[in-house]
Structures are given as structure tokens and as C-alpha cells.
């Protein structure tokens, strides 16, 4: 028997993007829109998704553990735009990818989270930072090698743990990691500037719980991905069954929002065509909304 694995792009449109200073009503998102199938057979277990600001209409993804040291560029219909190999690193357990600013404010950076640890056996976790390559919509797929990479090494002071969510708060350049398997979700913070020469102790910034629907149970309530909007005002966390949304009022930190504000559960269809989806990201241009990608 031959099994064919299909990776599906979806999009949910934000219908009321205008907020008041004190938001009281729920944010409304449209129905799911299937955008297309991923047209790159090398993407076999997509485990992260990030939308480019530098390259409008370009999305970045990568495979889960055991793949080569590469990331993939796609358009929003799943068309292959290229593979980019990163010299000198390995994919031990890459779980998420994010885009944001960094040391040079004039450049865009890709952050790759080697943060997975199913058996809680690794003391040190890694985040790789590279300058985002230039990619054009409609180009022929390219294969390139990136040789300049910065390595951020960190550890938890409360023991080894698994995580699949990496987020960048663009206004502050702080990095956030969200744990996966804890009864209370743990949010860790790596404050900017992150050292690339010393091991960093991740700050436990918050503990919080997620509202569960009647069918929600482990492992369905495990957090598998997340994203902070480029302007820093909106946050998404994704489990296997739900996507949770927070609006961040001016002056509040990420940890304050996640730990003190009840999230809104927003549309996500965990159906046969998007089983084991572990990727979500905000759309940064035009009609606001978020993308998901099946694993």
C-alpha cells in the first residue's frame, strides 16, 4: 500500500481589525479558506510557519526532527520557491520558525527553534538566527546555502522540557518559548539582546492554563505553535484541536496578557485534511488573518 501525505495551506480572514483602547467585544474571523497543497515533496513533516515582511507573499517552513539543515520558501498557494541550507548546524528537533528584527534594524531575520525534547533529555536548546534571504514570488525554485548563522544557546532553570512554540515580539526583539507537555503552560523569555557566546538561562515569565472544550484532552491541549503579530498587538497559540487568540492592549507585556486575559477560541478545523497540524502564523499585509499548515 502506498500512503500519500498531503500538506494543506489554509487561511482565516480577520473581519474586524479595528480595536478600541479597551477591547470588550470578540474579534471575528472568517471561515477557513483552503489556499492550496504544498508542491514540494521534500516537505514531509512541516513543523513551523512564518510569513515574511521583507518578501511580500512568501512563507517559510521547515521539517521536524531528522531532516537536513534546511528551510523552505513557499508562496501562499503552496508553490515551491526554494530550499535554503544553513551551514554548520543540524536539525536535532526543529519545532518552530519565526521572523523578526535583530542586531541590525535595517534587516529581517529568520529564527529557527531547535527546542523539541520529547524525552526531556537535553539540557541545552538552540535558536538559530540568519538574515532572511531575498525571494521573489513566481521565481523558479532555487537551492542556496547560507553560511552566516548565529547560535543562541539557552536552558531552563526548572528542568528539561519539550517545547514547540517560538515567538518574536518585534517591538522589543524579545524571544518567547512556550512549553508543550506541562499541566500549566509555561512561557519563557529570552530578553534582547540575546547572547551568542554565553549560555542563557530562560526566564520563566508566566504560567497559565488554556480553556478546554468538552472534548479537549491530552495530547490535544498541547501547544504546538504560536505567533505574535508584527506590530505586537495580537497573539496566537495553537494546540492540536484549537487556536487561541489574545489582543494585547497598549502597555501590557506578553506575559501579562497570556496569564491574566482569557483567550478567545478562533476558527480552526482539525479535520482529516489537516491532521496533526503544528504550524500557524499571522498574515502581515493587506487583509489581516492567519495561516495554518498541516504536518
Q: Does some domain include residue 106?
A: yes
Q: Does some domain include residue 98?
A: yes
What is the pLDDT at residue 39? 92
In terms of residue numbers, what domain contains 179?
8-293
pTM to 2 decimals?
0.91
What is the pLDDT at residue 130? 99
Q: How far apart are CA 188 and CA 178, in angstroms?
A: 6
What is the pLDDT at residue 213? 57
Q: How far apart are CA 31 and CA 56, in angstroms?
A: 23
Q: How far apart are CA 236 and CA 157, in angstroms?
A: 26
Q: Are 68 and 130 in contact (CB under 8 A)?
A: no
The CA-atom distances, in angstroms, between 86 and each of 11, 38, 82, 182, 294 are 29, 22, 13, 32, 24
Q: Does some domain include residue 204?
A: yes
What is the pLDDT at residue 270? 55
Q: Does some domain include residue 275?
A: yes
What CATH number does the domain containing 26 carry? 2.120.10
Q: Does some domain include residue 3?
A: no
Q: Does some domain include residue 2?
A: no
The CA-atom distances, in angstroms, between 272 and each of 7, 8, 256, 275 are 11, 11, 36, 5
What is the pLDDT at residue 151? 99
Q: What is the pLDDT of residues 265-294, one digit of tens each?
A: 887 765 445 556 789 999 987 677 888 888
Q: Does some domain include residue 1?
A: no
What is the pLDDT at residue 48? 94
What total number of domains does the chain contain?
Answer: 1
Q: Does some domain include residue 213?
A: yes
- In the chain, which residues have pLDDT < 50? 1-6, 16-24, 271-272
Counting Cβ atoms within 10 Å, is residue 6 exposed (0-12), middle (13-18) or buried (19+)?
Answer: exposed
Amino acid at each position: 500500500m502506498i500512503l500519500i501525505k498531503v500538506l494543506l495551506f489554509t487561511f482565516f480572514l480577520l473581519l474586524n481589525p479595528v480595536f478600541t483602547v479597551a477591547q470588550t467585544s470578540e474579534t471575528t474571523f472568517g471561515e477557513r479558506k483552503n489556499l492550496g497543497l504544498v508542491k514540494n515533496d521534500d516537505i514531509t513533516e512541516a513543523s513551523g510557519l512564518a510569513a515574511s515582511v521583507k518578501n511580500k507573499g512568501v512563507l517559510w517552513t521547515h521539517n521536524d526532527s531528522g531532516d537536513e539543515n534546511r528551510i523552505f520558501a513557499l508562496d501562499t498557494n503552496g508553490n515551491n520557491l526554494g530550499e535554503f541550507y544553513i551551514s554548520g548546524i543540524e536539525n536535532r528537533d526543529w519545532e518552530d520558525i519565526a521572523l523578526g528584527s535583530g542586531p541590525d534594524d535595517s534587516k529581517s531575520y529568520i529564527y529557527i527553534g531547535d527546542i523539541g525534547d520529547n524525552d526531556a533529555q537535553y539540557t541545552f536548546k538552540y535558536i538559530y538566527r540568519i538574515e532572511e534571504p531575498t525571494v521573489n514570488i513566481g521565481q523558479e525554485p532555487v537551492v542556496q546555502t547560507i553560511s552566516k548563522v548565529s547560535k543562541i544557546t539557552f536552558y531552563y532553570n526548572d528542568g528539561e522540557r519539550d517545547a514547540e512554540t517560538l515567538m518574536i515580539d518585534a517591538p522589543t526583539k524579545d524571544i518567547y518559548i512556550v512549553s508543550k507537555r506541562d499541566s500549566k503552560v509555561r512561557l519563557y523569555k529570552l530578553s534582547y539582546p540575546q547572547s551568542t557566546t554565553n549560555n542563557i538561562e530562560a526566564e520563566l515569565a508566566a504560567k497559565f492554563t488554556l480553556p478546554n472544550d468538552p472534548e479537549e484532552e491530552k495530547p490535544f491541549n498541547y501547544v504546538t505553535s504560536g505567533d505574535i503579530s508584527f506590530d505586537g498587538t495580537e497573539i496566537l497559540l495553537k494546540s492540536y484541536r484549537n487556536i487561541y487568540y489574545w489582543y494585547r492592549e497598549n502597555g501590557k507585556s506578553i506575559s501579562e496578557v497570556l496569564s491574566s486575559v482569557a483567550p478567545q477560541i478562533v476558527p480552526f478545523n482539525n479535520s482529516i485534511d489537516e491532521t496533526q497540524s503544528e504550524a500557524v502564523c499571522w498574515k502581515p499585509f493587506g487583509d489581516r488573518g492567519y495561516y495554518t499548515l498541516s504536518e
